């Protein structure tokens, strides 16, 4: 394995320092001017605290990394989840496998009970779980289900929405049936109803039903019918309201734009065209709302509290530049995104106002949820899109939103709103009208808390890849006299939220802020400058990074690629690059991968854990996995480090358009960069201190025997390790280079020499 290690080059260090400069330094660097107007006398809107949510599936280890109070338990796995024995089926996502992916426990409803326990631990005020409507759920945990074993068969239990008999204290595992109202009753009996902190506040009427015939063809091979879905929704909702009247019902969890328009109907059935003509409906959403409203009129009970849609941006798939504009499709009339939606679907753009118009016409009072969404990205463009999306959700008065499969940059966008200072500082709960000169360059949303105008929080982005943004924030129609502003931002190549400026010269209720290129910021403006006493502006020289790059790989004894970890305590991230191909020639697909780790906690307990990532089809596909000193031990974050000196890169599953045909996604790693982060506040070596001598009397650490110890010696060591024949060390050089245990030249020696050169240590 070829190992090339080095500290950051001087040029890279200068670039990083420039990107990390405080605003006060960057204010005179040019850029463009942006006027931001905050109208504190305009029409206000209450902001739902539940728009800052996440999805649970596969992300339990992230609970401590993102500040949220609302979480959804859903996704494809929940469609065939059997609450009686906790079996579930992956559908086309993974070989139609029925297994213990969600829970290995035999305790009834263990998945929901574990969800409740996490809610108590992490303070989830609002928990949304999923009920099963597709017709069958997994009967066992015995692995892949073949086409010959499609339902009805012994591999499945039949779902009945209403039992029609007295509920049992414990479910009957022998009757071949699973009752959904009995499930709701069991949760209420076990956890409490929706008014309690441990109960479920809401229930989703399954997940993405218009894709059942694709994702779960073993249980629902035909496209879901419009009458079928409405009838099941009405029956299930009525049962929920009877058992837990205060619980909110979400439906129908539409997967995206096509589903909004015509559900799963294809042209051959003409079902939608017939229904559309009969009811004079604009799109499918109208019909669903109308059916639920008429059912309420018949029963006297509201059956749909929240219209639930999913939204995955199409234009963000094109690249970073399109991602920066992608949120505009949701809110801006006349905007044309770079995708098939922009080309063919302009009649329904902007999307959220069009959805709201359907609600207002067919079922007034229904709230709006976006329980799955993602705008993509593995860099600061993801933070910017996420920040703009949350502002858009607030402005559109979305009730609930939960990102699916978020990453650290997207979580930074959420934390800007929910915990920008790491101490609970958050965006206000009341939105005030805000605008910029040009949303293509910069978006902004502002809020206050209640009616108190003394503190204004303003989210502001800079979408330019190259230019800083000189923003003038004008606070209009307020009697408050604003004195100071603090600027918390995400920018450069880091997902950290940093306090990068405190502005004390605010006058005339105008705040001058400079944002670096590609950044998202929360600007906190106060009428009392003492609010910021004691705060420390981010120091770009406080930390430095060192990286090792690996470009040639062999499979280890487990059949996987691995790379060494030379300094577990300071491991910061790995940046993964690979060529990803499809065996069957799919045009889209991805590989679900994980960095597998043997970790050890502060008490010396070893455990196995992993950090997931996904790689999409294409040459040079990238992913970044961050490390913050905590790892998930059986779902519980604990402080730990890598125990055995390596990271192992595994592929766990494939997904592609031709998955049913046995398509396999091949991952060939081309580069893995391991990055270590060091605190420069650590006392450094006195420059006059001499290192320990080697046995031969020359300088310990002087691998190239030139009389000095510097980065060239570390490079010489690594070159020799990678190709000893081409880059041999002299006997004296080998003796000098062997500075740490174990005996023999390893990458640990190179790292120690780098530390000495950087004055992190003063001797070997």
The single residue of 62, 84, 182, 208 carrying the catalytic annotation is: 208
Closest to 495 measured CA to CA, from 604, 386, 362, 601: 386
Closest to 426 measured CA to CA, from 414, 409, 434, 443: 414
On the 0-12 / 13-18 / 19+ scale of CB atoms within 10 A, 708 is exposed
Q: How many angstroms separate the CA atoms of 495 and 501, rounded? A: 17
Q: Let me know if 388 is a catalytic residue.
A: no
Closest to 208 measured CA to CA, from 254, 259, 266, 265: 254
Residue 52 to residues 47, 66, 75, 418, 431, Cα–Cα distance (Å): 10, 10, 18, 8, 15
Enter the DSSP assignment of 9.
Answer: P
Give residue 368's region: left, alpha or beta (phi > 0; psi -120 to 50).
beta
Q: How many angstroms separate the CA atoms of 505 and 713, rounded? A: 50
Residue 433 to residues 43, 357, 392, Cα–Cα distance (Å): 7, 21, 12
Q: How many angstroms separate the CA atoms of 102 and 610, rounded? A: 16
Strand (E) or helix (H) holding 722: helix 711-722
Token pair for 402: 């939960």
Instruction: Write out the DSSP string of 345-414.
Output: -GGG-SHHHHHHHHHHHHSTT-EEEEEEEE---SSHHHHHHHHHHHHHHHHTT-SEEEESS--HHHHHHH
Please enumerate, as own/partner, the contacts of 337-342 that have beta carbons within 8 Å and a separation of 24 or more: 337/313, 339/314, 339/315, 340/314, 341/257, 341/314, 341/315, 342/315
Contacts of 32 (CB under 8 A, 6+ apart): 441, 464, 467, 468, 469, 470
Please enumerate, as own/partner, the contacts of 341-346 that have beta carbons within 8 Å and a separation of 24 or more: 341/257, 341/314, 341/315, 342/315, 345/257, 345/261
Cis link prior to 423 (omega < 30° from 0)? no
Helices 180-191, 226-243: crossing angle, 10 deg rounding: 30
Residue 368 to residues 400, 531, 626, Cα–Cα distance (Å): 7, 36, 33
Start-to-end Cα distance in the chain: 27
Helices 351-362, 284-299: crossing angle, 10 deg rounding: 30
Q: What are phi and psi of 342, to 5 degrees?
A: -65, -30
Q: Which residues are catalytic?
A: 208
């Amino acid at each position: 394995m070829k190992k090339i290690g080095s500290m950051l080059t001087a040029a890279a260090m200068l670039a990083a320092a420039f990107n990390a400069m405080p605003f006060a330094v960057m204010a005179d660097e040019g850029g463009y001017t942006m006027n931001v107007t905050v109208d504190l006398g305009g029409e206000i809107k209450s902001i739902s605290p539940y728009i800052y949510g996440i999805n649970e599936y596969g992300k339990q280890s992230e609970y401590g990394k993102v500040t949220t109070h609302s979480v959804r338990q859903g996704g494809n796995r929940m469609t065939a989840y059997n609450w009686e024995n906790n079996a579930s089926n992956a559908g086309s996502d993974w070989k139609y496998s029925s297994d213990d992916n969600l829970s290995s426990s035999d305790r009834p409803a263990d998945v929901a009970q574990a969800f409740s326990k996490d809610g108590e631990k992490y303070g989830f005020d609002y928990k949304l779980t999923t009920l099963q409507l597709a017709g069958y759920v997994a009967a066992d945990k015995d692995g892949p289900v073949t086409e010959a074993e499609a339902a009805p068969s012994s591999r499945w239990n039949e779902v009945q929405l209403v039992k029609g008999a007295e509920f049992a204290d414990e479910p009957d595992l022998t009757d071949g049936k699973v009752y959904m109202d009995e499930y709701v009753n069991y949760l209420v009996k076990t956890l409490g109803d929706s008014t309690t902190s441990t109960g479920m506040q809401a229930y989703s009427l399954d997940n993405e039903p218009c894709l059942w015939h694709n994702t779960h063809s073993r249980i629902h091979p035909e496209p879901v019918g419009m009458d079928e879905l409405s009838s099941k929704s009405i029956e299930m909702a009525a049962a929920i309201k009877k058992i837990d009247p205060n619980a909110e019902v979400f439906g129908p969890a539409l997967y995206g734009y096509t589903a909004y328009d015509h559900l799963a109907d294809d042209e051959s059935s003409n079902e939608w065209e017939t229904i559309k003509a009969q009811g004079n409906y604009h799109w499918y959403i109208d019909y669903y709302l109308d059916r639920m409203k008429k059912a309420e009129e018949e029963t006297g009970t509201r059956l749909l509290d929240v219209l639930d849609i999913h939204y995955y941006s199409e234009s963000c798939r094109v690249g970073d530049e399109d991602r920066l504009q992608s949120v505009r499709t949701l809110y801006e009339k006349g905007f044309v995104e770079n995708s098939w939606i922009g080309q063919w679907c302009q009649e329904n753009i902007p999307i959220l106002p069009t959805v709201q118009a359907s609600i207002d016409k067919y079922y007034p009072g229904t709230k709006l949820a976006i329980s799955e969404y993602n705008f993509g990205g593995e860099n600061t463009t993801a933070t910017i899109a996420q920040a703009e999306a949350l502002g858009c959700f607030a402005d559109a008065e979305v009730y609930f939103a939960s990102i699916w499969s978020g990453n650290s940059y997207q979580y930074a966008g959420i934390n800007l709103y929910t915990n920008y200072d790491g101490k609970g500082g958050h965006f206000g709960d009341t939105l005030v009208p805000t605008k910029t000169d040009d949303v293509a360059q910069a978006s902004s949303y502002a809020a206050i808390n209640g009616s108190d105008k003394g503190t204004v929080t303003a989210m502001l982005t800079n979408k330019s890849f190259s230019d800083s943004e000189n923003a003038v924030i004008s606070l209009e129609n307020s009697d408050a006299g604003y004195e100071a502003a603090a600027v918390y931002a995400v920018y450069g190549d880091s997902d950290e939220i940093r306090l990068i400026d405190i502005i004390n010269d605010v006058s005339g209720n105008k705040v001058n802020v400079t944002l670096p290129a590609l950044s998202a910021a929360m600007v906190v403006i106060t009428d009392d400058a003492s609010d910021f006493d004691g705060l420390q502006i981010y120091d770009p020289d406080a930390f430095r990074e060192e990286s090792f790059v690996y470009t040639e790989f062999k499979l280890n004894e487990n059949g996987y690629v691995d790379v060494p970890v030379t300094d577990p305590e300071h491991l910061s991230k790995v940046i993964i690059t690979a060529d990803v191909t499809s065996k069957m020639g799919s045009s889209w697909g991805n590989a679900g991968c994980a960095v597998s780790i043997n970790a050890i906690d502060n008490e010396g307990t070893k455990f196995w854990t992993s950090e997931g990532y996904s790689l999409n089809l294409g040459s040079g596909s990238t992913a970044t996995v961050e490390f913050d000193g905590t790892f998930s031990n059986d779902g519980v974050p604990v402080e730990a480090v890598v125990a055995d000196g390596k990271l192992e890169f595994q592929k766990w599953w494939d997904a592609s358009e031709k998955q049913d045909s046995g398509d396999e996604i091949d991952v060939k790693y081309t580069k893995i960069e391991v990055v270590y982060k060091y605190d420069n506040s650590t006392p450094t070596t006195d420059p006059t201190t001499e290192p320990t001598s080697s046995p031969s009397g020359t300088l310990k650490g002087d691998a190239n025997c030139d009389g000095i110890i510097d980065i060239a010696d570390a490079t010489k060591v690594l070159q020799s390790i990678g190709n000893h024949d081409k880059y041999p060390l002299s006997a004296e050089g080998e003796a000098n280079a062997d500075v740490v245990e174990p005996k023999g030249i390893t990458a640990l020696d190179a790292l120690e020499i780098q530390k000495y050169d950087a004055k992190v240590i003063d001797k070997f």
